[in-house]
A and B are shown apart, each in its own frame.
Chain A
Amino acid sequence: MALIFPKESLSAFPKHLTPAYRSTVKRSPSKPLIIVPHTLSELTGPVYGHDAMQEGDNDLTKQHNGEPLGERIIVHGHIYDEDKRPVPDTLVEIWQANACGRYVHNVDQHPAPLDPNFTGAGRTITDKNGYYRFITVKPGAYPWGNHPNAWRPNHIHFSVFGHSFLSRLVTQMYFPGDPLFPFDPIFNSVTDEKARQRMVSSFDLENTIPDWALCFRFDIVLRGREATPQDADKH
């Protein structure tokens, strides 16, 4: 499968410099990026196997002696390429705040409790259908210092690999109907409404497990599609 990675596919990505998110001001390139062709170095990328995992990595509620506090949820979905073909056997990593909105990280000084039964990191590998599944708790919202009374919407961080180093994606999964959406400069750094909605999971009643856990579906589409004859004509 020889995929191509058109740059136009990135058109809905945030701009590097997005001043409403203050930390971008000193951390965004100021000079134009240099356009270069995709060589073997870009068209290849890391491949991980199921041996990179251990049992329990995809169940964040079973990583300690007791169960974490909070609302238990299932987060699942498929990883696709731009042709909507599943991306099998690819590494998916997540990390998140606990139910109170606190991260297990020394830098996080939000005065909300840590949960001794929750780290908040998980990983898995998609199956042959590009499917992944995590069990976790719903992360809380938390304040941050970007502007007065700034709060991040509930979110889970995702890191996904895909077919090449060009398809590498780090993103955040949000929850449907979050009242903080209009006020969050990170979410709104994606200026296209439809593209923003692609970062919002959907409530999945069908896969919700009665008397046990709500379910949210989050499908991810990565860069990469099959070349068409028209693409070949451009060369």
Chain B
Amino acid sequence: MSDITPSQTVGPYFAYGLAPHSRCNWQPNSHYDSKETVGADLVTPDATGQKIRIEGRVLDGDGLPINDAMIEIWQADGQGRYAHPRDNRARPNTKFKGFGRSATDKNGAYSFDTVKPGSVPGPGGKPQAPHIVFCIYSRGMLRQVYTRLYFSDEAANAADPILALVPTDRHGTLIAHKEMRGDLAVYTFDIRVQGENETVFFDI
């Protein structure tokens, strides 16, 4: 039996602590002006790869927007490299961190500006399709849930070893749909925490 510290909910008031520069609704007066440690714009000047935007909403079991959720994303860079010592392959983008955080607004909406990740190695050396790991926190969630975003325009999804473990009729919940907004590719990815079309969450 392990003795790790148990998880507790992030609660409704995390924004001024964890996402003070986000657009969500916290007391604007007399606050401490901290540096933005973690934000929703991951793009660095030296980031290679295609700039993209990710938008979506977080919905509860009644399909109502969750207006006090926090999404964190973790991803590889455009070449499929993670900015972490465990990924010891050559990394061309020294400043791209691959981590972002967005708090939902009153409509349950979140967004990220980032670059599309490259393919990364999977179990047994098989490549994984480009994807982003999502971690969701909110009031009413006593522990975080993990899911993944895959891209609708990736043929590699068909051979992805993780998607292969998900029942086919639920694949759709993990696919973000692309639309072009001028030159910018925008991927829409809604997260349904519970109920019909519930997003696939991973037991990891």
Q: Which residues of chain A have a CB within 8 Å of any CB of chain B?
A: 2, 5-16, 18, 21-48, 52-54, 57, 63-64, 82, 91, 93-95, 97, 103-108, 114, 116, 119-123, 157, 159, 164-166, 168-172, 186-187, 189-190, 194-196, 198-199, 220-223
Q: Once bound together, how far apart are the Cα atoms of A16 and B133, in whole Å?
A: 20
A166 & B204 in contact (Cβ 8 Å cutoff): yes
Counting residue pairs across A and B whose Cβ atoms lie within 8 Å, the total is 265
Number of chain B residues whose Cβ lies closer than 8 Å to a Cβ of chain A: 78
Interface of B is mostly: loop
B27 & A24 in contact (Cβ 8 Å cutoff): no
**Residues in B1-30 with C-beta less than 8 Å from chain A:** 1-18, 20, 25-27, 30
In the complex, the chain B residue whose C-beta lies closest to that of A56 is: B32
Q: Once bound together, how far apart are the Cα atoms of A122 and B137, in whole Å?
A: 19
Q: Once bound together, how far apart are the Cα atoms of A8 and B60, in whole Å?
A: 28
B18 & A38 in contact (Cβ 8 Å cutoff): no
Question: A34-B166, A41-B128, A44-B87 are known contacts. Are A196 and B6 too (CB-CB below 8 A)?
Answer: yes
- Per-residue CB proximity of B135-147 to A under 8 Å, as 1/0? 1011111111110
In the complex, the chain B residue whose C-beta lies closest to that of A97 is: B13
Determine whether B35 belongs to the interface, using a CB cutoff of 8 Å to chain A: yes
Cβ distance B192 to chain A, nearest Cβ, rounded Å: 10
Q: Which residues of chain B have a CB within 8 Å of any CB of chain A?
A: 1-18, 20, 25-27, 30-32, 34-35, 37-38, 60-62, 64, 66, 68, 72, 74, 76, 82-87, 97-99, 120-123, 128, 131, 133, 135, 137-146, 148, 162, 165-166, 193-195, 198, 200-204
Question: A14-B143, A44-B84, A46-B98 are known contacts. Are A29 and B5 too (CB-CB below 8 A)?
Answer: no
Choose among A37, A57, A105 the residue that contacts B16 (Cβ–Cβ < 8 A). Answer: A105
16 contacts between A and B (CB under 8 A): A10-B4, A23-B139, A26-B61, A26-B64, A27-B61, A35-B202, A39-B123, A47-B84, A104-B26, A119-B31, A165-B74, A171-B6, A186-B142, A196-B6, A199-B6, A220-B5
| Chain B neighbourhood of A2, CB < 8 A | 86
Cβ distance B66 to chain A, nearest Cβ, rounded Å: 7
| Chain B neighbourhood of A10, CB < 8 A | 4
| Chain A neighbourhood of B141, CB < 8 A | 16, 24, 27-28
Choose among B26, B85, B194, B201 the residue that contacts A34 (Cβ–Cβ < 8 A). Answer: B201
Cβ distance A51 to chain B, nearest Cβ, rounded Å: 9
Cβ distance A86 to chain B, nearest Cβ, rounded Å: 14
| Chain B neighbourhood of A12, CB < 8 A | 1-2, 4, 6
Question: A7-B203, A36-B203 are known contacts. Are A41 and B18 too (CB-CB below 8 A)?
Answer: no
Cβ distance A27 to chain B, nearest Cβ, rounded Å: 3
Interface of A is mostly: loop
B97 & A28 in contact (Cβ 8 Å cutoff): no
A13 & B128 in contact (Cβ 8 Å cutoff): no
Which has the most chain A C-beta neighbours within 10 Å: B27, B64, B201?
B27
Question: A14-B7, A121-B16 are known contacts. Are A104 and B31 too (CB-CB below 8 A)?
Answer: yes
B34 & A57 in contact (Cβ 8 Å cutoff): yes
Q: Once bound together, how far apart are the Cα atoms of A120 and B15, in whole Å?
A: 11
| Chain B neighbourhood of A57, CB < 8 A | 34-35
| Chain B neighbourhood of A195, CB < 8 A | 3, 6
A13 & B143 in contact (Cβ 8 Å cutoff): yes
Choose among B2, B32, B131 the residue that contacts A41 (Cβ–Cβ < 8 A). Answer: B131
Question: A39-B121, A45-B84 are known contacts. Are A93 and B18 too (CB-CB below 8 A)?
Answer: yes
| Chain B neighbourhood of A53, CB < 8 A | 35, 37
Cβ distance B96 to chain A, nearest Cβ, rounded Å: 12
Question: A16-B143, A16-B145, A33-B203 are known contacts. Are A95 and B6 too (CB-CB below 8 A)?
Answer: no
A168 & B8 in contact (Cβ 8 Å cutoff): no
Which has the most chain B C-beta neighbours within 10 Å: A2, A121, A172?
A121
B8 & A170 in contact (Cβ 8 Å cutoff): yes
